[in-house]
A = this chain, B = another copy of it.
């Protein structure tokens, strides 16, 4: 596969140097839009416009849809080398949701120029879509759906589909609307082709239509589509008027995007870090803020330990258990936070569940604390030949794990309730807070029990 790609690139470069445009067009036409987009990205900047111009309008539109996901700098190249009018003509051909996504990423000035140059009807559609929150159903829906009236026949419906098939994002679901554009039914193309051609849509359509509202969060939309195995879901407003549809390919992008976002936040960095060294600045920007939070909390932890100065100088062995306590507390806290974040993301937990979930996690924390506390108590006592040190470390472990499990669960749920992405309550944030409380517990226990050590 990789070798095949290399060969293709060599062949293409050769043809570009010899300016064999018709050969290039033939070569490129054998590939899927997603592949052509990748090829464009790999090409030298000044060749991109040449190749793009050789694509048919329909293909060019589909390639632009794919490019948008890959690398926006390629799009800037194309705007520069081909001009806004050329792009505007192709954006006219794009699905409205992809056109809106694309334009939404361009600088405002370029966006307005292109919108001016587009067909009026398309431009209006796209401008409306641009106004929705990008993370909402409105932000990912397309207006190219197929809607029919309920008083036509199945045969006529297929004729309608034939006419609008080239325009529509999907023809596999046909939505049925009344005169006020309210959604009253749905029928699949599969059902239409097996139906008697003379049957009225009204008599064969499904009346219970599952839809999403235009302001629903995209994560929730993805859950609906996934739960019902839909290929698309209709988007309606408060009055059940049909505004658009969201297709399964966009849902897949949402699932990948949300999972990546959660994974990065849990790992303590904010965004996707790309491959090139050139984006070092971007990497630092996404990672440094989390490190500064950790630094602040590390210094607080140091201050807590300073309160233990007298005990530490008397019993240096107390210091040996600091990494053990913070490491294990951090682990329990991260586990609980992960379970809470994922539970909230896939809809297993909702913010109303707080008491039940907190009780369960506290119990888990106590159990884990008892098991691990007992083990480390025995080890500490034997290793340092001190029963009291064993008691201090063991009790600290119990207290630490219980609070860690509770904090790891409550912080993400609280964040969700306050409208913050719960994955922000991520590894560094949770572990650092747990370090501080764990050391407070340890210091307190040590200063109370130290008399028995000396």
A residues apposed to B, CB below 8 Å: 30-32, 34, 158, 161-162, 165-166, 171-172, 189-190, 193-194, 208, 210, 225-229, 231, 248-249, 251-253, 255-256, 259-260, 262-264, 266-269, 272-273, 275, 277, 280, 283-284, 287-288, 290-291, 294-295, 297-299, 301-303, 305-306, 309, 312-313, 316-317, 319-328, 330-332, 334-335, 337-339, 341-342, 346, 348-349, 356-357, 360, 363-364, 367-368, 371-372, 375-376, 379, 427-428, 431-432, 435, 439
User: When the two chains form their complex, are residues A322 and B323 in contact, meaning their CB atoms are under 8 A apart?
Assistant: yes
User: When the two chains form their complex, are residues A327 and B226 in contact, meaning their CB atoms are under 8 A apart?
Assistant: no
Enumerate chain B residues within 8 angstroms of A264, measured Cβ to Cβ: 338-339, 342
User: When the two chains form their complex, are residues B267 and A252 in contact, meaning their CB atoms are under 8 A apart?
Assistant: no
Q: List 25 A-B contacts (CB under 8 A).
A: A31-B208, A32-B208, A161-B193, A162-B193, A165-B190, A226-B249, A226-B256, A231-B248, A255-B256, A259-B263, A267-B334, A269-B335, A269-B338, A272-B342, A275-B357, A280-B360, A294-B331, A298-B323, A299-B324, A301-B323, A303-B320, A305-B319, A322-B323, A327-B432, A331-B428
Enumerate chain B residues within 8 angstroms of A251, measured Cβ to Cβ: 252
Which residue of chain B has its CB nearest to the CB of A164? Answer: B194
Distance of A408 from chain B, by nearest CB (Å): 9
Distance of A319 Cα from B345 Cα, bound (Å): 39
Distance of A153 Cα from B439 Cα, bound (Å): 77
Distance of A319 Cα from B439 Cα, bound (Å): 12
Tell me whether A320 and B302 are in contact in the complex, defined as CB-CB below 8 angstroms, given that A283-B364, A327-B432 are known contacts: yes
Interface of A is mostly: helix
Distance of A297 from chain B, by nearest CB (Å): 7
User: When the two chains form their complex, are residues B327 and A298 in contact, meaning their CB atoms are under 8 A apart?
Assistant: yes
User: When the two chains form their complex, are residues A335 and B290 in contact, meaning their CB atoms are under 8 A apart?
Assistant: yes
Enumerate chain B residues within 8 angstroms of A275, measured Cβ to Cβ: 348-349, 356-357, 360
User: When the two chains form their complex, are residues A301 and B328 in contact, meaning their CB atoms are under 8 A apart?
Assistant: no
Which residue of chain B has its CB nearest to the CB of A293? Answer: B331
User: When the two chains form their complex, are residues A287 and B208 in contact, meaning their CB atoms are under 8 A apart?
Assistant: no
Distance of A299 Cα from B321 Cα, bound (Å): 8
Enumerate chain B residues within 8 angstroms of A320, measured Cβ to Cβ: 302-303, 305-306
Enumerate chain B residues within 8 angstroms of A253, measured Cβ to Cβ: 226
